[in-house]
Amino acid sequence: MTKTWFIGLAIALACAQTHAQLRIGQPSGFSGSVAAGVKENTDGAKLYFDAVNARGGVNGQPIELISVDDKFDPKLTVELGRELITKRGVLALFLNRGTPHAQALMPLLAEHKVPLVAPSTGAMVLHEPVNPWIFNVRATYQREAARAIEHLASIGQNRIAILETDDSFGADGAAGAMQGFAKVKLEPVLRQKTPREKPDFSAVAAEIAKLQAQAVMVIASAGNTANAVHALRAAGSRAQVVTLSNNASEGFIKLLGEHARGVIVTQVFPNERSVSFPLIKEAQDLAKAKGLDGVSPAMMEGFAAAKVLTEGLRRAGPNPTPQKLRDALEGLSRYDLGGLTVSYSATNHTGLDFADLSIVDANGRFRR
């Protein structure tokens, strides 16, 4: 009896250790000004992971996503990231939100040789120079911002203001906007930095109204961007508002309330209702099977990220390590996500370069 009990215990422990190999850590802002988008990102990732696990997992092992709230604080991101790596034994960090947050994780990734897959930020610093431990699954903010400025100029909106969060995210997006301005030979009528925490937009909104700006690009979190829009409308400005894909969530539209209609949001994935893309159809079908109405752009970011990570895990073999996963991801070449192709190499960790524009319609939905 005793021998049988020990054999059973050994088998159980072996199984537990094998399953633990596919732990993935996600320190991200589940509370605070980015919570709505983070939740939708995560819902999209879980949609794919759940489907994979229902089919037996990867190489017979389930994927366990461990999500923890960093309260959108870069210092806490690092603390939680370290705990996930050293105490929870995660193979990778995944889908964290925020440019300063991803930058803060860089030394940790190098120290422990653990990859960060699909950070939910388009900061150029994560793309160039190539970081051997970071694998992006989305276009850069600079590409989005430049395209948006070029679009505004093409429809005759030449008096454009920029409101940028006073951090590395804001500076990065504004750099892209300035590239767009240079291409169309314009200058912003106003470029203003705003605090990252609890900014008061009333004064700058009044100035924008006085300048009769035709459009305003707001580079900020969902909560702060929504507050900026409310302040602009209260100041009497009817300027076209444009923001970046970090705000491509249904939660952001809800924060805008009565001022949602007409806001332009850049996108880094195809139309979430365009089932001509196999990737979109796959996500839509899985969502409907769970009783959901559909998927949002933010959910598609998480879904695509999960698909790339899963393929990396599959190629890393039955006994993956962080190093094996890193090497497997870097070996991905022309991997078909479903109408979009992902490629990595030693000199390129961007993955995807898709960028588009959407506008919020009268029904509170993104339209292309």
Q: DSSP string of 306-318?
A: HHHHHHHHHHT-S
Which band of pLDDT confidence, cut at 50, 70 and 90, is reported for residue 28? very high
Residue 261's identity, in one-letter code, is: R
Return the residue matching tokens 């899985």: 286
pTM, entire model: 0.88
Which band of pLDDT confidence, cut at 50, 70 and 90, is reported for residue 7? very low
- Give CA–CA dist 17/112, Å, rounded: 20
Check residue 13 and give its pLDDT.
44
174: left (phi over 0), alpha (psi -120 to 50) or beta: alpha
What percentage of the chain has pLDDT greater than the value 70? Answer: 94
State how beta strands 341-345 and 335-336 pair. antiparallel
Q: For residue range 300-342, what is the model confidence (pLDDT) as tens digits?
A: 999 999 999 999 999 999 999 999 999 999 999 999 999 999 9
Residue closest to 295 by CA, chosen among 53, 48, 35, 34: 48
Residue 194's identity, in one-letter code, is: T
* Mean confidence (pLDDT) of the chain: 94
Instruction: Judge whether 186 and 138 are in contact, CB under 8 Å.
Output: no
Domains of the chain listed by start with CATH number: 2-139+276-354 (3.40.50.2300), 141-267 (3.40.50.2300)
What lies within 8 Å, CB to CB, of 12 at 6+ separation is none
Report the pLDDT averaged over residues 360-368. 95
Rounded to the nearest angstrom, the gap between the alpha carbon of residue 128 and the centroid of all alpha carbons in its chain is 18
Q: For residue range 90-128, what is the model confidence (pLDDT) as tens digits?
A: 999 999 999 999 999 999 999 999 999 999 999 999 999
Return the residue matching tokens 């948006």: 148
Check residue 14 and give its pLDDT.
44
Going by the DSSP 8-state scheme, the letter that residue 124 receives in this structure is G
- Other beta carbons within 10 Å of 38: 29
Residue closest to 251 by CA, chosen among 35, 100, 103: 35
Q: What is the CA radius of gyration of the chain?
A: 21
Q: For residue range 206-261, what is the model confidence (pLDDT) as tens digits?
A: 999 999 999 999 999 999 999 999 999 999 999 999 999 999 999 999 999 999 99
Q: For residue range 34-49, what is the model confidence (pLDDT) as tens digits?
A: 999 999 999 999 999 9
Residue 339's identity, in one-letter code, is: G
The Cα-based distances of 280 to 7, 125, 269 in angstroms read 47, 29, 9
Which band of pLDDT confidence, cut at 50, 70 and 90, is reported for residue 17? very low
User: Does 179 score more than 80 pLDDT?
Assistant: yes
